[in-house]
Amino acid sequence: MANRILITEPIIEEPVEALREQYDVTVGERGYYDKVAHLKQDISRFDAVLSLLSNPITEEVIEAAESLKIIANLAAGYDNIDVEAAREASIAVANTPGVLTEATADATFALLLSAARRLPEAEQYLREGHFDGWDPLGFLGKELNGSSLGIFGMGKIGTAVARRARGFGMDILYHNRNRVNPSVESEVDATYVESVHELAEKSDILCLNCPLNDGTRHAVDQPVLEALGPEGILVNTARGAVVDEKALAEALHTNVIGAAALDVFEDEPAITDALFDAPNCIMTPHIGSGTNTTRLKMGMLAVNSIKAALNNEEIPNVVSG
C-alpha cells in the first residue's frame, strides 16, 4: 500500500504532483489544519505531513500520530512545531532553508523603502484626489544613503538584506546570538554590537531577521523601542512574537518610534485593534517568501525530505531526527 501523505492545504502544483506520482496524497482545505483539534483528529492516518507555519504541531498532535515519520515544514522557521516532542517520538522534522533567502530579503527591502519613503500614505493621498502639484513639503521621508541599518539576526536572510543595504549606501550594524564569520562581516562591512538595545540605539532603521525562539521572543520590547526613537523605523519579516506587539502599538500611537513595516504578527492572522489603528504602520499578510520561484523551490525541498524519510535515506534539511 502506498504511503499516505497529508499536505495540510493547497500549495503550488508541481510538488503536489511530484508526491502524487508515488504516494496517496490528501490535500487539506485552506485553514482547516490551523487548529490543533483537526490535526489531532486526522494525524494518525498519515505517514508524512507537509505542514505550513500556521499549523500548530504541538505535543498533543505528535502524541496522536501513529505512523508519522516526518513533518516537512514549508518554511525556514519551524517554531510552530514542538521539535522536542517530535524527537522523542522519533519523528523527523525538516524545513526549507536557503531557497527563500533572496525573496525574503527583497520583501524586507520593499517594506523598508515603503516605510522610509511613506509610499502607502502618498499613494492614498493621490488616489483620494489630493495631488495638487509638486509640493516642496510633501511626504518628506528618510534618505537611505548614509542612514544606519541595524540587523537583528545576521543569518542567510539578514546577510542578504545587508548586501542590498550596501547598494543603497547604508551603514550596517548587527546583533546576533553569535558573532558571524569575519568574512561575512567584511563582505557587507557590518559592525557587531552586543545587544538588541544597543543596536536599536545606534540604528535609524531596525530590521528583524532572526528566528523565533526562547532567546528572541519579545526581544524588541518597550525599552528597545524607546532606544530606536521617534525617527526610527522598525521592519519585521521574521516572526511577530520577536516584538512585544502591545508595546509596539503603544509606541506607534505615542510617537515613541516613527514607523513600522510589518509582514508578521504575534497571533496570526489576528491583528489587534491597537496595532491596526496605529499611525505610520505598514502591514502585509506574511508574504516574505511569496514568489513563484521560491515557493516552487520550497515545495520541492519538502518533497525531497519526505521521499528520503519514507525511503529510510538521509533526510535533507533535517532540523531534528
Distance from C-alpha of 57 to C-alpha of 40, rounded to nearest angstrom: 9
Give the per-residue contact string, 269-288, with ligand GLV (x = CB under 6 A; - = no).
-------------------x
Residue 203: closest CA among 252, 150, 250: 150
Among 289, 294, 305, 317, binds ligand GLV (CB under 6 A): 289
Give the chain's radius of gyration (CA, Å): 21
Chain centroid to Cα 82, Å, comes to 18
* 63: annotated active-site residue: no
Closest CB to ligand GLV among residues 144, 319: 319
Answer yes or no whether residue 53 interacts with ligand GLV by CB under 6 A.
yes
Closest CB to ligand GLV among residues 96, 147: 96
Answer yes or no whether residue 158 interacts with ligand GLV by CB under 6 A.
no
Answer yes or no whether residue 103 interacts with ligand GLV by CB under 6 A.
no
Q: How far is the CB of 105 from ligand GLV (least distance, A)?
A: 12
Closest CB to ligand GLV among residues 118, 286: 286
Among 25, 75, 220, 248, binds ligand GLV (CB under 6 A): 75
Query: Which window, 71-79, 128-136, 158-166, 248-256, contacts ligand GLV (CB under 6 A)?
Result: 71-79
Separate counts of helices (H) and strands (E) for the chain: 13, 13
Closest CB to ligand GLV among residues 76, 199: 76
Answer yes or no whether residue 76 interacts with ligand GLV by CB under 6 A.
yes
Edge-to-edge, what's the strand order for the sheet holding 233-236? Answer: 190-192, 171-175, 148-152, 205-208, 233-236, 259-262, 281-283
Among 5, 65, 93, 100, binds ligand GLV (CB under 6 A): 100
Q: How far is the CB of 76 from ligand GLV (least distance, A)?
A: 4
Q: Which of 239, 245, 266, 295 is catalytic?
A: 239
Q: 9 and 32 in contact (C-beta within 8 Å)?
A: yes
* 286: annotated active-site residue: yes
Answer yes or no whether residue 155 interacts with ligand GLV by CB under 6 A.
no
Residues 81-89: contacts with CB under 8 Å, at least 24 apart: 81/51, 81/57, 82/57, 82/58, 83/319, 83/320, 85/58, 85/59, 86/57, 86/62, 86/320, 86/321, 87/320, 87/321, 89/62, 89/63, 89/65
Which backbone phi and psi does 278 adopt, to 5 degrees? -70, 140
- The owner of cell 519579516 is 237
* Residues designated as active site: 239, 268, 286
The residues binding ligand GLV (CB under 6 A) are 53, 75-77, 100, 288-289
